[in-house]
Amino acid sequence: METEVLLRIIAIAIAGGILLSTVSWADVVSKLKTWFTRKPKPKVEITKDETSFLEIVESWHTLRHQCDSYGLTEAVEKIDEVFPLLNVEEEDRNV
């Protein structure tokens, strides 16, 4: 190798070493740990409280409306298949 090419490679290596010495490695390691750690599953609390029919219908309507607003037509169709009795009222409104 020529001297000039060798000096450029050495200069790049020194610049890379200086650049790497300015990095806070503790932050990098902690960030990598958070990427690879498993997150605990959220606990679902089962309540013994009675829910009214109106609360169920409201939940269904909210879910259907959100799916409809996001353009999830297949999800809306499946919701309509699962809850056909709740669609009767809405079909009457559309007629």
Question: Domain limits at 13?
Answer: 3-36
Q: Do 61 and 86 reside in the same domain of the chain?
A: yes
Confidence label for 79 from pLDDT (cuts 50, 70 and 90):
confident
Q: Do 32 and 57 reside in the same domain of the chain?
A: no
Do the domain assignments include residue 43?
no
Q: Flag whether pLDDT at 95 surpasses 50.
A: no
Number of independent structural domains in the chain:
2
pLDDT digits (tens, 9 = 90+) for 4-63: 999 999 999 999 999 988 888 888 888 888 888 887 877 877 766 777 777 777 887 888
Q: How far apart are CA 45 and CA 51, in angstroms?
A: 15
Helix (H, G, I), strand (E, B) or coil at 13: helix
Do the domain assignments include residue 90?
yes
Q: How far is CA 5 from CA 9, 13, 64, 68, 71, in A?
A: 6, 12, 67, 63, 59
pTM for the structure as a whole: 0.38
Do the domain assignments include residue 46?
no
Mean pLDDT (whole number) for 67-83: 85
Cα torsion for 76, 82, 88, 90, to the nearest 10°? -30
Q: Give the pLDDT of residue 64.
A: 83
Q: Do 28 and 57 reside in the same domain of the chain?
A: no
